[in-house]
């Protein structure tokens, strides 16, 4: 941050604290925000050949914003990543303009680059069932195999993020019919736990060689520490190779599958939003596009006039 003026450093730090305290931003989000804003402010220092204080920042013109975006693209920044960076810059400027009393239209009116939104890539129902039936074959150790089944069943059966599943503590088991999950940004939600998930966790607990105390991780690595997400990713890689599934069949794809299969079965979009812990309904609405795409694929393959 040596290229950034002390006043800007202080403002950035205050904004990040604001994002944490009032908006509940997760640590990874704060790290990304910091990186994005440091990059932007450093560019403006070099662009104007002088450290940019708060007064100078208030005078940035649309041409300066275009120069920054052109520099990012020239450095290989993809449109999606640039859109994320611009969003962070706008959020910072919106807060700074209100605090310092200046007009931030030049920054806030900057158009985000267009990009093709990636649709979730869920497994079909048969493939998801095959994963649950095959994942225990990837590990020779019986208790570790039972652990892997329990984790994967939570991802698909309850729509948990892998970090949420691995964040469960010994006190959370036996799993109740409804589980309170703390997700991104510290947001809590209630998630129904299907019988298959409760049973899978109990099978794992019955043979786990490590003491699963209240304040310790529920899911353990071979040596007893908290299970690393990479272990579940590796197990999924072996499973999809055995089943001939595409590389998109990841642990997170099981969460996508949970949402898509609920929607296909007639689930309410708002209810699915709550189950997934999405802050915005627009995030959940991506699954309607997946459902429509799948419907059209079936139509094109089976309709006699197609």
CATH topology of domain 125-301: hpI Integrase; Chain A (1.10.443)
33, 93, 204, 287: the active-site residue: 287
CATH topology of domain 6-108: DNA polymerase; domain 1 (1.10.150)
Residue 295's pLDDT is what?
45
Which residue is listed with tokens 């786990």? 208
161, 205, 240, 261: the active-site residue: 161
184, 203, 210, 238: the active-site residue: 184
Domain locations in the chain as residue ranges:
6-108, 125-301
Task: Using the predicted structure, report yes or no on whether residue 227 has a pLDDT greater than 80.
Answer: yes
Q: Is 252 a catalytic residue?
A: yes
Q: Is 84 a catalytic residue?
A: no
134-163 per-position pLDDT tens digit:
999 998 899 999 999 999 999 988 888 899
- Closest among 92, 17, 16 to 57, alpha carbons compared: 92
205, 255, 256, 261: the active-site residue: 255
Q: Is 161 a catalytic residue?
A: yes
Q: Is 223 a catalytic residue?
A: no
Cβ-contact 147, 221 below 8 angstroms: no
Q: Is 255 a catalytic residue?
A: yes
Residue 265's pLDDT is what?
62
- Closest among 173, 155, 157, 176 to 250, alpha carbons compared: 155
Residue 145 token pair? 């195999």
Within 8 A by CB and 6+ apart from 188, the residues are: 180, 181, 182
Compute CA distances 236 → 139, 165, 168, 195, whole Å.
11, 15, 20, 22
Please compute the mean of the pLDDT values over residues 154-181 and round it to a whole number.
90
């Amino acid at each position: 941050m040596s290229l950034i003026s002390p006043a800007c450093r202080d403002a950035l730090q205050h904004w990040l604290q604001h994002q944490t305290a009032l908006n509940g931003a997760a640590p990874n989000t704060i790290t990304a925000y910091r990186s994005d804003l440091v990059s932007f402010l450093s560019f403006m220092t070099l662009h104007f050949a002088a450290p940019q204080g708060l007064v100078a920042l208030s005078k940035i013109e649309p041409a300066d914003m275009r120069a920054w975006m052109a520099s990012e693209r020239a450095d290989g920044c993809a449109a999606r990543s640039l859109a994320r960076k611009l969003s962070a810059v706008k959020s910072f400027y919106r807060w700074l303009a209100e605090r310092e009393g200046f007009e931030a239209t030049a920054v806030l009116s900057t158009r985000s680059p267009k990009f093709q939104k990636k649709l979730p890539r869920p497994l079909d129902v048969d493939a998801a069932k095959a994963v649950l039936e095959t994942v225990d074959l990837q590990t020779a150790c019986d208790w570790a195999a039972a652990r892997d089944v329990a984790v994967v069943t939570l991802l698909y059966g309850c729509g948990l993020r892998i970090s949420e599943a691995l964040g469960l503590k010994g006190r959370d088991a036996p799993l109740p019919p409804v589980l309170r999950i703390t997700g991104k940004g510290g947001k809590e939600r209630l998630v129904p736990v299907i019988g298959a998930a409760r049973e899978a966790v109990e099978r794992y607990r019955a043979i786990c060689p490590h003491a699963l105390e209240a304040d310790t991780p529920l899911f353990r690595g071979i040596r007893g520490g908290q299970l690393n997400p990479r272990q579940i990713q590796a197990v999924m890689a072996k499973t999809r190779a055995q089943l001939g599934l595409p590389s998109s069949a990841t642990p997170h794809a099981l969460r996508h599958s949970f949402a898509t299969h609920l929607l296909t079965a007639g689930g309410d979009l708002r209810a699915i939003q709550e189950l997934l812990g999405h802050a915005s309904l627009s995030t959940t609405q991506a699954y309607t596009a997946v459902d429509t795409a799948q419907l059209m694929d079936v139509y094109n393959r089976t309709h006699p006039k197609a």
